[in-house]
Amino acid sequence: MPLPPGKNLQAVIVGKAAAQAGGLSTQPERDTLERDTADDYIIASAAPGDILVTRDIPLAARALERGLVALNDRGVIWTADSARERASVRDHMAALRELGVAPPLPKGRLFDRKDLKAFADALDKAIRAAMNAQRR
């Protein structure tokens, strides 16, 4: 999906699709390595005050440590505490699912107008926070 025009927007394609698209070429043997390579590239390329949109909890935590503003596509602005809490709950629920005492993860729910509004509001807050951080 192409990005809208803007000098402050950047898309980076990594992994198998990178060779065809001219992105960061990686040839890891496992998906985990591929994700880690992408995460490492994102963190290394970002500067304090940049905005990262991700559902990846560990990536959000790393971004926060580097001074980035991180949010997910559902309108949650990540903090160090919220990332730790979500990771803990995710890991606990995975253990319960493995034991068979928790239901499987639900299939992805659709992105609705409520989610769009929450994301737009969070992005607005993130932009303001990033602008304030750059002024300091």
Q: What is the pLDDT of residues 48-66, one digit of tens each?
A: 889 999 989 999 999 999 9
Can you give the pLDDT at residue 14?
63
Contacts of 92 (CB under 8 A, 6+ apart): none
pLDDT at position 28 is 43
Query: What does the block give as tokens for 95?
Result: 């253990």
**In whole angstroms, what is the distance from residue 2 CA to residue 17 CA?**
14
Candidate ranges 3-17, 76-90, 106-120; pick with highest mean pLDDT: 76-90
Domain coordinates of the chain in residue numbers? 1-45, 48-135
Q: Which of 18, 7, 21, 9 is nearest to 52 (CA)?
A: 9
